[in-house]
């Protein structure tokens, strides 16, 4: 196999990842973050590759970077390649290696952002600079976007770019971002590489109950805390009905084939033309039986066969002997494509007449076709460097900046390739303690990303 990536690119991806981790871009929410130093770092290296990056802000310090690589075929649709610069908080006392050290120890690079997602930002920079040294131009235009604020509302990041600077994404029909093409070890020797072809929609909710304030020693049949607690309990205990979308059906079908199982036996069918974005309601399906046959691989799909709503925060009262007049709760809701109406009517029923609810943050559910040329090229790029692996589609239970870019008509996939050894739980490292990535995984990612983009 011809090597398109030079040694300098392999060295650079490690250095760029370390450097970006050392730039603390912790997003505490509520606007408390400053991505500009990381944005300037990325822009400098893009400029060094002959590009003309634009630095864009809605809020001072909340900086985004956008650049375009001109392709050889002006008639071809453009491809968006995006990664975010902010990271979630990390407490140094909880980590074995300081979370903002970017230290390489025993072949492993440590730090907040090592997998989410400064590693991918570094891969993009390394590939682009490798192309510049080789004088290579892709077939289609490639737009690169490094965004702010993905770990909160995206209002200062991808949302701002899509709303205020849509011209920068002219011609883009598809996008590649986090999270997918990582090694999933099933414990029996198989290696899966799930590529994201969908995301559940985000529905973050605020619940409010009002009642009669009074003394804690008195009988009070109009207690806001009691009303809210009852509603929260109903939401937390509710079992949402099964809802299989085409992406999840494809994931179940392909995973079942890997394990020698006929998914149709369990009522899961993937008919010709069963391609997103059309939603599919499940018929009689033995989902528990099928998931049991998939072993640990079931974790790739089990969170995306239903809508969900998980209570996460409670706020009521200010003194133990005072019944408050208001109580508030927050719920993390997630919706599958086609499941939005079901979500709304169910929340109305579960909260009841005494509790009001409203959206605090809402983004759409997404699906992308798994029979597209782009998906096939992603599969081929992974298989070129991991022939022992099984590439399968999956739907993310959470969300990414792909939601913001979808308003521009851009179809998003999750593809940030990493070849991980057994024992590296990629999903647990996301937002987890001791986030880290093997150096060899970064090298694999650069090679796969380069191969895919050269053929995109």
Digit-coded pLDDT (tens) for 228-274: 999 999 999 999 999 999 999 999 999 999 999 999 999 998 654 55
Comparing C-alpha atoms, which of 193, 248, 255 is closest to residue 381? Answer: 193
pLDDT for position 328: 98
- CB distance 79 to 175 below 8 Å: yes
**Which tokens in the block code for residue 314?**
């409670």
Angle between helices 36-48 and 7-22 (to 10 degrees): 160
Per CATH, 7-179+400-455 and 201-241+306-363 having the same topology is answered: no
pLDDT for position 401: 96
pLDDT for position 283: 54
**How many Å apart are CA 414 and CA 456, to the nearest integer?**
15
Q: What is the largest CA-CA distance in the chain?
A: 80
Token pair 């570094």 is found at 122
**How many Å apart are CA 11 and CA 29, to the nearest integer?**
33
**Burial 185-207, CB ≥16 within 10 A → b, else e:** bbeeebebbbbbbbbbbbbbbbb
Comparing C-alpha atoms, which of 440, 442, 386 is closest to residue 193? Answer: 386
Q: Where are the domains of the chain?
A: 7-179+400-455, 201-241+306-363
**How many Å apart are CA 195 and CA 217, to the nearest integer?**
57
pLDDT for position 133: 96
pLDDT for position 270: 65
For the chain, which ranges sit under pLDDT 70?
A: 1-2, 270-283
**How many Å apart are CA 125 and CA 295, to the nearest integer?**
37
pLDDT for position 277: 37
Question: How would CATH label the architecture of 7-179+400-455?
Answer: 3-Layer(aba) Sandwich (3.40)
pLDDT for position 398: 85
Question: How would CATH label the architecture of 201-241+306-363?
Answer: 2-Layer Sandwich (3.30)
């Amino acid at each position: 196999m011809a090597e398109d990536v030079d040694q300098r690119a392999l060295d650079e991806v490690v250095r760029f990842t370390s450097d970006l981790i050392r730039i603390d871009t912790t997003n505490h929410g509520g606007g408390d973050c400053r991505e500009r130093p990381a944005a300037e770092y990325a822009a400098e290296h893009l400029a060094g590759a002959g590009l003309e990056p634009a630095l864009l802000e809605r809020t001072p310090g909340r900086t985004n970077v956008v650049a375009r690589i001109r392709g050889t075929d002006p008639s071809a649709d453009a491809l968006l390649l995006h990664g975010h610069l902010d990271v979630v908080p990390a407490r140094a006392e909880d980590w074995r290696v300081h979370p903002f050290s970017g230290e390489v120890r025993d072949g492993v690079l440590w730090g907040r952002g090592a997998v989410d997602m400064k590693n991918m930002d570094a891969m993009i920079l390394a590939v682009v600079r490798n192309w510049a040294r080789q004088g290579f131009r892709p077939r289609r235009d490639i737009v690169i976007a490094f965004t702010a604020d993905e770990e909160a509302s995206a209002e200062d990041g991808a949302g701002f770019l899509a709303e205020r600077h849509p011209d920068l994404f002219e011609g883009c029909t598809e996008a590649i971002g986090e999270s997918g093409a990582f090694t999933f070890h099933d414990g029996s020797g198989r290696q899966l590489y799930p590529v994201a072809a969908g995301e559940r929609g985000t529905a973050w909710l605020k619940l409010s109950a009002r009642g009669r304030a009074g003394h804690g020693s008195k009988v009070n049949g109009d207690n806001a805390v009691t009303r809210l607690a009852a509603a929260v309990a109903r939401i937390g205990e509710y079992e949402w009905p099964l809802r299989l979308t085409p992406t999840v059906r494809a994931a179940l079908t392909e995973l079942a084939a890997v394990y020698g199982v006929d998914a149709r036996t369990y009522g899961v069918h993937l008919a010709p033309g069963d391609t997103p974005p059309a939603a599919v309601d499940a018929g009689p399906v033995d989902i528990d039986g099928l998931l049991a046959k998939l072993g640990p691989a079931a974790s790739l799909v089990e969170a995306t066969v239903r809508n969900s709503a998980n209570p996460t925060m409670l706020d009521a009262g200010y003194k133990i002997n005072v019944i408050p007049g208001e109580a508030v709760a927050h719920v993390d809701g997630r919706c599958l494509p086609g499941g939005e109406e079901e979500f709304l009517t169910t929340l109305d029923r579960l909260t009841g007449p005494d509790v009001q609810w409203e959206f605090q943050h809402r983004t759409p559910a997404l699906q992308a076709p798994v029979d597209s040329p782009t998906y096939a090229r992603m599969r081929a790029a992974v298989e070129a460097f991991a022939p022992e692996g099984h590439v399968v589609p999956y739907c993310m239970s959470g969300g990414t900046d792909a939601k913001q870019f979808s308003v521009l008509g851009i179809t998003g996939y999750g593809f940030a390739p990493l070849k991980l050894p057994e024992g590296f739980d990629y999903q647990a490292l996301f937002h987890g303690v001791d986030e880290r990535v093997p150096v060899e995984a970064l090298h694999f990612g650069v090679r796969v990303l380069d191969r895919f983009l050269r053929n995109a």
